[in-house]
Structure 1
């Protein structure tokens, strides 16, 4: 077999083997990686690259090496979860750099951090003045966490006893021009209502939308394929037609939800009247 074909085969084998090891080790955010995780990742990467392109290295030897490192990393991670003492031994513990507004010079020297490094970490947290900082901690991933003094924290609605409506996770309801109908129905909204909302933002059809997201308050964010269309004035006649269809859909929804037969019939009758109105004025709403 030609040498380049050997490299191709070894590279493919290495890729899927490393993918398997990565899945076994699990997910961890980059910002949460400790120095140990960083070094282990580099070592496994070097072993994998050697397995892919070093023809003198037996693949089985590289597989054994990567497997041992991966298994040990996994065992250490599991051990760190189950034992506080073991976690401190492997990952270390956070170091207090500023306490009660005072810089702890001995702790800075202990972790080899200069005053310039400290100030850079504070500025990354929007703390440009030492006088604003109550406490600062060097985390095990090398990041500096900052707690500002109470008087310098942003004012929140809770601080002034202002009641606000709780918000929940927003949901994407249109992705690449495709409407997520089941998701929209689960949230309790109709397609007619959504069409009216997106038309307010310059879209004539769902296919013109790249992404649309709805939050827990019913506010819809729309990103069009052609952003220039969003800047154009929304035409009122098609919007009126969409709003009438929304009202009709809402009435039908009310009829389905109620158990009162009289109310149910009333909603259906009103829905039929709206449909008759739409049929009557629809020719005048076309542009």
Structure 2
């Protein structure tokens, strides 16, 4: 068998072995990786690379080495979760670099950080002045966490007793020109209303929209396929048609929600009258 075929086969095999082991080890954010995690990842990657290109290494030997290294990593991680003492041995402890606004030079020397390293870490947390910092801690991941002095913290609505409305997670309601109907219904909005909102932002219809997202206050962000077509000039006639359909849908919704039979009948009658009006003027609004 040609050598390049062997390399291809071994590389594909190493790739899927590495993918499987990564899934077994689980997800962990880069910012939370300890030095041990970092070294483990590099080692497993190197072992997989040798498996792919070094024909002098038996595949079974490499697989055994990878599996054993993965198992040991999992054992270490499990022990760190179950035992505080073991976790301190493996990961170490966070080290305070600044306390009460004063730099602890001995701890800085212990961690082998220079003042430049410290200042860079502070700047990454938007703390450019040492005078603004109350506490700075070097985490086991190597990142620096910063707590500013109270007077330098941003003012929040809670600080001044200002009531705020809770927000839910923004939701995508159009993807690649397709309305996510179930999500739109769950949020309590109609297709007619959505069409009006996207047309306000320059779309001729839903098919022109690549992505649309709605927040908890009903604000819609629209991203068109061709941004150059996104004109500030709204086409009034199609927009009016969409608004009329929205009003008609709202009347039907009011009729369904109310328990008052007289009001229910009134909403239905007005919805029917509006629908007749839409049918009459629709040819002129296209």
Query: Is this a same-fold pair by TM over 0.5?
Result: yes
**1:282: which partner in 2?**
282
Q: Following the alignment from structure 2 to structure 1, what is the Cα–Cα distance between the partners of residues 192 and 89?
A: 60
Q: How does 1:142-161 map onto structure 2 within 5 Å? A: 142-161=142-161
**2:82: which partner in 1?**
82
Structure 1: which 5+ residue stretches go unaligned?
none
TM-score, with structure 2 as normaliser: 0.96
**2:12: which partner in 1?**
12
**1:43: which partner in 2?**
43
Q: Following the alignment from structure 1 to structure 2, what is the Cα–Cα distance between the partners of residues 178 and 57?
A: 51
Divergent runs of 4+, >6 A: none
Deviations along 1:17-38, one digit per CA (max 9) or x if unpaired, are 1111111111111111111110
Q: Following the alignment from structure 2 to structure 1, what is the Cα–Cα distance between the partners of residues 205 and 282?
A: 17
Residues paired across the two proteins, number = 286
**1:33: which partner in 2?**
33
**2:71: which partner in 1?**
71
**1:175: which partner in 2?**
175
Q: Compute the displacement of 1:78 (Å).
A: 1.9
**1:202: which partner in 2?**
202
Q: Following the alignment from structure 2 to structure 1, what is the Cα–Cα distance between the partners of residues 249 and 83?
A: 57
Q: Following the alignment from structure 1 to structure 2, what is the Cα–Cα distance between the partners of residues 274 and 79?
A: 69
Q: Following the alignment from structure 1 to structure 2, what is the Cα–Cα distance between the partners of residues 264 and 54?
A: 78
Q: Following the alignment from structure 2 to structure 1, what is the Cα–Cα distance between the partners of residues 265 and 83?
A: 65
Q: Compute the displacement of 1:184 (Å).
A: 0.8
**1:224: which partner in 2?**
224
Q: Compute the displacement of 1:205 (Å).
A: 1.2
**Secondary structure of the residue that 1:157 maps to in structure 2?**
coil
**Secondary structure of the residue that 1:159 maps to in structure 2?**
coil
Q: Following the alignment from structure 2 to structure 1, what is the Cα–Cα distance between the partners of residues 66 and 84?
A: 27
Deviations along 1:245-276, one digit per CA (max 9) or x if unpaired, are 11111122222333443333222211111111
Q: Following the alignment from structure 1 to structure 2, what is the Cα–Cα distance between the partners of residues 106 and 282?
A: 79
**1:250: which partner in 2?**
250
Deviations along 1:183-227, one digit per CA (max 9) or x if unpaired, are 111111111111111111111111111111111111111111111
Q: How does 1:103-122 map onto structure 2 within 5 Å? A: 103-122=103-122
Q: Does 1:140 align with 2:140?
A: yes
Q: Following the alignment from structure 1 to structure 2, what is the Cα–Cα distance between the partners of residues 257 and 14?
A: 60
**Secondary structure of the residue that 2:159 maps to in structure 1?**
helix
Q: Following the alignment from structure 1 to structure 2, what is the Cα–Cα distance between the partners of residues 101 and 231?
A: 53
Q: Following the alignment from structure 1 to structure 2, what is the Cα–Cα distance between the partners of residues 78 and 251?
A: 59
Structure 2: which 5+ residue stretches go unaligned?
none
CA RMSD of aligned residues (A): 1.2
